[in-house]
Amino acid sequence: MGLGGYLGAKSEAASYKETRRECTRLTQDDPAMARAQVLEVLEPYDLPKQTLEDVTDHLSTSPRLIDFLMQFHHCEQEPASNRAFISALTIAAGYLLGGLIPLFPYFFVPAEDVYLALYISVAVMAVALFAFGYVKTCIVSGWSGLRCVRQAVVGGLEMVVVGGAAAGAAMGLVKAFDQLAQSDDVSALASKIF
Protein backbone atom coordinates (compact mmCIF):
# COMPACT_ATOMS: atom_id res chain seq x y z
CA MET A 1 0.00 0.00 0.00
CA GLY A 2 2.87 2.34 0.74
CA LEU A 3 4.21 1.65 -2.75
CA GLY A 4 0.81 2.59 -4.17
CA GLY A 5 0.94 5.90 -2.28
CA TYR A 6 4.46 6.53 -3.57
CA LEU A 7 3.52 5.78 -7.17
CA GLY A 8 0.33 7.85 -6.91
CA ALA A 9 2.26 10.87 -5.63
CA LYS A 10 4.93 10.45 -8.33
CA SER A 11 2.18 10.28 -10.96
CA GLU A 12 0.60 13.45 -9.54
CA ALA A 13 3.97 15.24 -9.75
CA ALA A 14 4.48 14.06 -13.34
CA SER A 15 0.98 15.23 -14.26
CA TYR A 16 1.67 18.66 -12.74
CA LYS A 17 4.95 19.00 -14.67
CA GLU A 18 3.30 18.02 -17.95
CA THR A 19 0.38 20.42 -17.42
CA ARG A 20 2.84 23.22 -16.59
CA ARG A 21 4.87 22.40 -19.72
CA GLU A 22 1.69 22.60 -21.86
CA CYS A 23 0.71 25.86 -20.14
CA THR A 24 4.15 27.34 -20.84
CA ARG A 25 3.90 26.27 -24.47
CA LEU A 26 0.43 27.84 -24.74
CA THR A 27 1.59 31.20 -23.37
CA GLN A 28 4.46 31.27 -25.88
CA ASP A 29 2.68 29.88 -28.96
CA ASP A 30 -0.85 31.26 -28.51
CA PRO A 31 -0.98 34.31 -26.20
CA ALA A 32 -4.56 35.05 -27.31
CA MET A 33 -5.70 31.66 -26.04
CA ALA A 34 -3.84 32.21 -22.75
CA ARG A 35 -5.59 35.58 -22.43
CA ALA A 36 -8.94 33.88 -23.11
CA GLN A 37 -8.22 31.41 -20.29
CA VAL A 38 -7.48 34.28 -17.88
CA LEU A 39 -10.74 35.92 -18.92
CA GLU A 40 -12.58 32.60 -18.45
CA VAL A 41 -11.28 32.39 -14.87
CA LEU A 42 -12.22 35.98 -13.97
CA GLU A 43 -15.61 36.35 -15.72
CA PRO A 44 -17.68 34.44 -13.11
CA TYR A 45 -16.68 37.05 -10.48
CA ASP A 46 -18.86 39.68 -12.16
CA LEU A 47 -16.18 42.38 -12.22
CA PRO A 48 -16.87 45.67 -14.00
CA LYS A 49 -15.94 45.36 -17.69
CA GLN A 50 -13.06 47.87 -17.52
CA THR A 51 -11.59 46.23 -14.39
CA LEU A 52 -11.90 42.82 -16.02
CA GLU A 53 -10.07 44.06 -19.12
CA ASP A 54 -7.35 45.77 -17.06
CA VAL A 55 -6.71 42.73 -14.86
CA THR A 56 -6.76 40.39 -17.87
CA ASP A 57 -4.31 42.61 -19.78
CA HIS A 58 -2.02 42.85 -16.77
CA LEU A 59 -2.02 39.10 -16.08
CA SER A 60 -1.56 38.28 -19.77
CA THR A 61 1.79 40.10 -19.78
CA SER A 62 2.84 39.15 -16.25
CA PRO A 63 5.76 36.78 -15.61
CA ARG A 64 3.39 35.04 -13.14
CA LEU A 65 0.85 34.19 -15.89
CA ILE A 66 1.77 30.50 -15.87
CA ASP A 67 1.43 30.35 -12.07
CA PHE A 68 -1.98 32.04 -12.32
CA LEU A 69 -3.22 29.64 -15.00
CA MET A 70 -1.91 26.61 -13.12
CA GLN A 71 -3.62 27.61 -9.89
CA PHE A 72 -6.90 29.06 -11.15
CA HIS A 73 -7.53 27.59 -14.61
CA HIS A 74 -6.11 24.10 -14.11
CA CYS A 75 -6.70 24.07 -10.31
CA GLU A 76 -3.32 22.45 -9.69
CA GLN A 77 -0.72 23.33 -7.10
CA GLU A 78 2.86 22.14 -7.31
CA PRO A 79 3.24 19.07 -5.10
CA ALA A 80 6.01 19.15 -2.50
CA SER A 81 9.22 17.46 -3.60
CA ASN A 82 9.09 14.99 -0.68
CA ARG A 83 5.37 14.22 -1.08
CA ALA A 84 5.92 10.78 -2.64
CA PHE A 85 8.17 9.63 0.21
CA ILE A 86 5.90 11.05 2.92
CA SER A 87 2.82 9.55 1.26
CA ALA A 88 4.46 6.12 1.08
CA LEU A 89 5.61 6.33 4.68
CA THR A 90 2.28 7.47 6.13
CA ILE A 91 0.22 4.94 4.18
CA ALA A 92 2.57 2.07 5.08
CA ALA A 93 2.61 3.12 8.75
CA GLY A 94 -1.18 3.43 8.76
CA TYR A 95 -1.64 -0.05 7.34
CA LEU A 96 0.95 -1.49 9.73
CA LEU A 97 -0.69 0.10 12.75
CA GLY A 98 -4.18 -0.71 11.47
CA GLY A 99 -3.15 -4.32 11.01
CA LEU A 100 -1.47 -4.61 14.42
CA ILE A 101 -4.28 -3.15 16.52
CA PRO A 102 -6.65 -6.10 16.04
CA LEU A 103 -3.79 -8.54 16.73
CA PHE A 104 -2.88 -7.11 20.16
CA PRO A 105 -5.46 -9.18 22.11
CA TYR A 106 -3.99 -12.39 20.69
CA PHE A 107 -0.62 -11.52 22.25
CA PHE A 108 -2.08 -11.27 25.75
CA VAL A 109 -4.74 -14.01 25.82
CA PRO A 110 -3.78 -17.68 26.27
CA ALA A 111 -3.93 -19.82 23.12
CA GLU A 112 -6.82 -21.91 24.46
CA ASP A 113 -8.97 -18.75 24.75
CA VAL A 114 -8.74 -17.79 21.08
CA TYR A 115 -12.45 -16.89 20.90
CA LEU A 116 -12.03 -14.53 23.85
CA ALA A 117 -9.19 -12.86 21.95
CA LEU A 118 -11.48 -12.58 18.91
CA TYR A 119 -14.20 -10.84 20.94
CA ILE A 120 -11.66 -8.50 22.54
CA SER A 121 -10.19 -7.80 19.10
CA VAL A 122 -13.62 -6.88 17.73
CA ALA A 123 -14.23 -4.56 20.70
CA VAL A 124 -10.80 -2.94 20.37
CA MET A 125 -11.34 -2.35 16.66
CA ALA A 126 -14.81 -0.88 17.26
CA VAL A 127 -13.34 1.57 19.78
CA ALA A 128 -10.38 2.38 17.50
CA LEU A 129 -12.64 2.93 14.46
CA PHE A 130 -15.02 5.11 16.48
CA ALA A 131 -12.12 7.18 17.83
CA PHE A 132 -10.66 7.58 14.35
CA GLY A 133 -14.00 8.62 12.84
CA TYR A 134 -14.70 11.00 15.73
CA VAL A 135 -11.30 12.72 15.53
CA LYS A 136 -11.37 12.87 11.72
CA THR A 137 -14.79 14.55 11.79
CA CYS A 138 -13.71 16.98 14.53
CA ILE A 139 -10.66 18.00 12.52
CA VAL A 140 -12.95 18.89 9.62
CA SER A 141 -15.95 20.40 11.44
CA GLY A 142 -14.51 21.66 14.73
CA TRP A 143 -14.19 20.50 18.31
CA SER A 144 -16.74 22.57 20.21
CA GLY A 145 -20.47 23.06 20.11
CA LEU A 146 -23.33 20.60 20.16
CA ARG A 147 -23.52 20.47 16.35
CA CYS A 148 -19.83 19.54 16.05
CA VAL A 149 -20.09 16.89 18.77
CA ARG A 150 -23.18 15.40 17.10
CA GLN A 151 -21.40 15.32 13.72
CA ALA A 152 -18.35 13.72 15.33
CA VAL A 153 -20.45 10.99 16.98
CA VAL A 154 -22.15 10.28 13.65
CA GLY A 155 -18.73 10.24 11.93
CA GLY A 156 -17.45 7.77 14.52
CA LEU A 157 -20.49 5.52 14.15
CA GLU A 158 -20.22 5.63 10.35
CA MET A 159 -16.59 4.55 10.61
CA VAL A 160 -17.56 1.62 12.87
CA VAL A 161 -20.32 0.51 10.46
CA VAL A 162 -18.14 0.79 7.34
CA GLY A 163 -15.14 -0.85 9.06
CA GLY A 164 -17.36 -3.61 10.45
CA ALA A 165 -18.87 -4.25 7.01
CA ALA A 166 -15.40 -4.43 5.47
CA ALA A 167 -14.20 -6.83 8.18
CA GLY A 168 -17.35 -8.96 7.77
CA ALA A 169 -16.86 -9.08 4.00
CA ALA A 170 -13.22 -10.08 4.44
CA MET A 171 -14.15 -12.84 6.89
CA GLY A 172 -16.89 -14.04 4.52
CA LEU A 173 -14.40 -14.26 1.65
CA VAL A 174 -11.90 -16.14 3.81
CA LYS A 175 -14.61 -18.61 4.82
CA ALA A 176 -15.73 -19.05 1.19
CA PHE A 177 -12.16 -19.65 -0.01
CA ASP A 178 -11.55 -22.04 2.88
CA GLN A 179 -14.63 -24.05 1.91
CA LEU A 180 -13.53 -23.96 -1.72
CA ALA A 181 -10.12 -25.30 -0.78
CA GLN A 182 -11.68 -28.14 1.24
CA SER A 183 -14.27 -29.05 -1.40
CA ASP A 184 -13.57 -31.27 -4.38
CA ASP A 185 -16.87 -30.36 -5.95
CA VAL A 186 -16.84 -26.65 -6.81
CA SER A 187 -20.42 -26.71 -8.12
CA ALA A 188 -21.66 -28.02 -4.76
CA LEU A 189 -19.91 -25.13 -3.04
CA ALA A 190 -21.36 -22.64 -5.51
CA SER A 191 -24.86 -23.91 -4.72
CA LYS A 192 -24.16 -23.40 -0.97
CA ILE A 193 -22.96 -19.85 -1.50
CA PHE A 194 -25.62 -18.78 -3.99
For residue range 92-106, list pLDDT tens digits in order: 998 888 888 888 888
Q: Per-domain residue ranges for the chain?
A: 1-108, 113-193
CB 126 within 8 A of CB 165: no
Q: pLDDT higher for 194 or 67?
A: 67
Percentage of the chain modeled with pLDDT above 90 = 59
The CA distance from 71 to 77, in Å, is 6
Q: Which pLDDT score, from 0 to 100, does residue 188 have? A: 61
- The mean pLDDT of the chain is 89
Please check the confidence at residue 189 and state whether its pLDDT lies above 60.
Answer: no
Largest CA distance in the chain: 82
The CA distance from 128 to 154, in Å, is 15
pLDDT band of residue 185 (cuts 50, 70, 90) is low
pLDDT band of residue 178 (cuts 50, 70, 90) is confident
SS3 at position 94: helix
The CA distance from 110 to 178, in Å, is 25
The CA distance from 55 to 64, in Å, is 13
pLDDT band of residue 191 (cuts 50, 70, 90) is low
Looking at residues 165-185, what average pLDDT do you find? 84
CB 62 within 8 A of CB 38: no
